[in-house]
Structure 1
């Protein structure tokens, strides 16, 4: 008897189609249904199903006749949305951050997709202890040889795909790592920001858990603000940015801490 699961080839084709749609909408800002039918080469009904699934996952915003990816608090917080945003820049930031990690170190990683990009490179380094509250990092590293993995527990957030809340705060506050690596949603020359108060508390604890800290920021986050102040730029030992970024803003940051502009793919 044939099972009810989706065949691997069909599932792979759907995932590739979803990636094509997301990349197109992120690049253009929005797209009509007819435009996506032409782009993907599938039926109108299939595109409508794709749009509904991507909207349910919080990656795209659906409206009559099309979809958009205009940033909002919900989209910027969504792990799925962040996974598809500036992926090449995050890989470049991860490669630039890797030299800060040495064999035998303990590394605290937050629930950012930039930290996830770094996690994918960590098995190259050698024996490490990695602490994180991000489910995708635990999935990435759970089978990695030489990685001692410590998972931060707490209240599970489906939006962030991570563990947050008071139990997570208590556990992070009890950890003393060699290095903390994190990202956030916005920064100016002197201050970093995040749109959610509860996440601010988790990220502050994550930064403070490391003897040294590295902040990873793609160019879309630089020179803007969000609702809540996180930490001053000089709280971080190293700040890695992708360009293009305003030269005057970088000069002001460099008066506060070590700032490096990373070349992208």
Structure 2
């Protein structure tokens, strides 16, 4: 029910305003969000509870946040709205590695999702993924043989994650695995969540060619869990805004491809 004296606005538009605001600040209080959305504290608390239940934001003592930390990853829904130009640049560079008839495995990163959206121009392909968004993107493409793998559904990641031994991931041998992860240094890659690390490792072992796609905002940082050394990837695609000295250090361990950002 609309509040007295406040023009009726949809719940979705109000929550979008909250998420957009949190994307530009480290954190905010419920009182600040109530002022921002021009609704009562009770209404904004309901919005916060709903967004937290869906895994879009995190509540902590004194406030809420959507930004990733060294311990928690942002939700899939939030990540899909960030760094889109960088993801598109990485996707177009990665597409040059894909040929008709290949078998390809995709992880649950929104960076790799940008690549999946380009597969309509390539086919036929066999694509294996645990990411619901990629499944939705590819399921009606007659040139794609789509195989879904994983386990329990994660609302935060919008994907199916299970103990590798209990999934079918390690039974596949594919031409290319495409992945992204939370952060990387010059020698090691990282992710905030251990169950995601285990799933990504299992997927990585399935690929003859193993490609990591990383935009500049993820480079030179760490997260809670070590994933795999950079040298485990046959190829690393970086956006061209990464420091050349860091590119050179990564290039000493694997083949580096630079994706030009479209300004």
Structure 2 length-normalised TM = 0.82
Inter-CA distance 179–64: structure 2 relative to 1 (3 Å threshold): closer
Among 243, 249, 253, the residue aligned to 2:246? 249
Could you say what secondary structure the match of 2:205 adopts? helix
Match for residue 204 of structure 1 among 196, 201, 204: 201
Report the alpha carbon displacement of residue 64 of structure 1 after superposing the two structures with TM: 8.1
Q: What is the distance in 2 between the residues matched to 1:44 and 1:26? A: 21
**Which segments of 5 or more consecutive residues in structure 2 lack a partner in the other structure?**
1-8
1:209-247 superposed Cα distances (whole Å, 9 cap, x missing partner): 111121011222211122322221122122112353232
TM superposition shift of 1:36: 5.1
Aligned to 2:151: 154
Deviation at 1:161, TM superposition (A): 2.4
| Candidates 57, 72, 80, aligned match of 1:83 | 80
Structure-2 separation of matches of 1:169 and 1:254: 35
Structure 2 CA distance for partners of 1:156 and 1:263, relative to 1, 3 Å: same
Structure 1 position 125, deviation (Å): 1.1
1:178 matched to 2:175? The reply is yes
> Equivalents in 2 of 1:230, 1:108: separation in Å?
18
Give 5+ residue unaligned stretches, structure 1: 1-11
Match of 1:118 in 2: 115
Farther-moved stretch of structure 1 (188-197 vs 20-29): 20-29
> Which deviates the most, 174-183 or 115-124?
115-124
Per the alignment, residue 229 of structure 2 pairs with: 232
Q: How many equivalent pairs are there?
A: 254
Deviation at 1:263? Answer: 3.0
Work out which of the residue numbers 202, 215, 220 in structure 1 matches 2:217: 220
Alignment partner of 1:71 is 2:73:
no
Counterpart CA distance in 1 for 2:149 and 2:172 is 10
Which residue, out of 135, 152, 156, partners 1:138? Answer: 135
Please give the residue correspondences for 1:102-113 in structure 2 after superposition, counting only pairs within 5 Å. Answer: 102-113=99-110
CA distance in 2, matches of 1:188, 1:54: 32
Q: As a proportion of its length, which structure holds more helix?
A: 1
Q: 1:263 to 1:14 in 2, by over 3 A?
A: farther
Distance of aligned partners of 1:58 and 1:85 in 2 relative to their CA distance in 1, 3 Å threshold: farther
1:176-201 superposed Cα distances (whole Å, 9 cap, x missing partner): 11110001111110111122233222
